[in-house]
Amino acid sequence: MAASFYPPISPGLQSRARFAQSSLSGLSNVRFGVRAQTPDFPGRASCNGNVEFHQGLTLSRKFKGKPTRRRVSMMCVATPQVLYRNPDEGTWQWVDLWNALYRDRIIFIGQEIDEEFSNQLLATMLYLESVDDSRKLYLYINGPGGDLTPCLAIYDTMQSIKNPVCTHCVGYAYHLSGFLLAAGEKGKRSSMPLSRIALSSPGGAARGQAADIRNEADELLRIRDYLFKELAEKTGHPVEKIYSDLSRVKRFGSQEALEYGLIDHIVRPSSLHDGKSSPLHSWS
């Protein structure tokens, strides 16, 4: 991959990096202020290779008293690694991005929902509830929906756990993802200004004998009735209006979704609020 060039780091950032390094220098198995993650052999650990990369980004070089740009080679990685500070131990360690989000009670839906992905989300929500059933969970949605049964499992789990689930659409929420967005805690559902939302009647495919196809169709109608009734309660509309509106795919912009009752507010930059924090920041 082509090399990238980075400007010198500001003096303020350099001082913060030196402070973080010095504050953690007394820990065992620590290099550059970061806990070693890769075991070498029993009783010893080798430093994560990403440490040197970020050390190069953090500390700038000077030539004849003048700061110089440094060339850094970027490598493709499957999952980004980020620094996370353990609140209990006060130490820093490298963890994958999704792990860091889970520790902050943030769950991200960024793909089509299948059985495997649904099981991961369910296990995460149940685990976070077991840790603390009073703190909020934050569900970020940017996906096309997915298979019917896995999406219904997520929907029912959101309704059954004790934690309030705050939902936020960061890109688009189509089909069953739109139902998950509307299923969040009332008053804690939001989207970005340019987000798109689409709702439709649940569908599926059936094969086999005529009796099997008829049973599958009856099951789809039962699920449709259940979801439409739930959506009517979430939005405050009569269930007859839901049936009429979702007889075909209905699309919403963020303002239209707000007026329809799918979300409760639109998250905008703080500059549009005359210096006030956005509704997203008020979740904490």
253 and 127 part of one domain: yes
More confident residue, 103 or 120: 120
More confident residue, 257 or 8: 257
Contact 202, 148 (CB under 8 A): yes
114 and 52 part of one domain: no
The CA distance from 110 to 30, in Å, is 34
Which of 94, 116, 144 is the endpoint of a domain? 94
Q: Which of 51, 60, 53 is nearest to 13 (CA)?
A: 60
Interval 17-54: pLDDT, tens: 554 454 444 443 333 333 434 334 344 444 455 556 55
Using alpha carbons, list the distances in angstroms from residue 194 to 119, 127, 228, 260.
Answer: 30, 33, 25, 16
Pairing of strands 196-199, 250-253: antiparallel
The CATH number covering residue 220 comes to 3.90.226.10
More confident residue, 207 or 21: 207
Structural domains of the chain, count? 2
Q: Which of 99-108, 122-131, 159-168 is predicted with the least confidence, judged by mean pLDDT?
A: 99-108
**Is the residue at 100 inside a domain?**
no
Which of 94, 113, 138 is the endpoint of a domain? 94
128 and 238 part of one domain: yes
Contact 34, 58 (CB under 8 A): no
The reported pLDDT for the residue numbered 59 is 54
Per-residue pLDDT band for 5 (boundaries 50, 70, 90) equals very low
124 and 262 part of one domain: yes
More confident residue, 52 or 6: 52
Please give the model's pTM, rounded to 2 decimal places: 0.68
**Is the residue at 257 inside a domain?**
yes
Amino acid at 234: K
**Is the residue at 149 inside a domain?**
yes
Share of the chain above pLDDT 70, in %: 67
Where would I find the H helices in 8-131? 11-23, 50-58, 97-103, 115-131
87 and 126 part of one domain: no
201 and 275 part of one domain: yes
The structure tokens listed for 51 are 């440490």
Per-residue pLDDT band for 132 (boundaries 50, 70, 90) equals very high
167 and 201 part of one domain: yes
Q: What does pLDDT average to over the chain?
A: 78
3-state secondary structure of 60: coil
**Is the residue at 29 inside a domain?**
yes
273 and 156 part of one domain: yes
Which of 94, 120, 136 is the endpoint of a domain? 94
**Is the residue at 99 inside a domain?**
no
The residue range of the domain holding 232 is: 105-283
52 and 86 part of one domain: yes
User: Which residues, at least 6 apart from 152, have a Cβ–Cβ distance to it below 8 Å?
Assistant: 176, 223
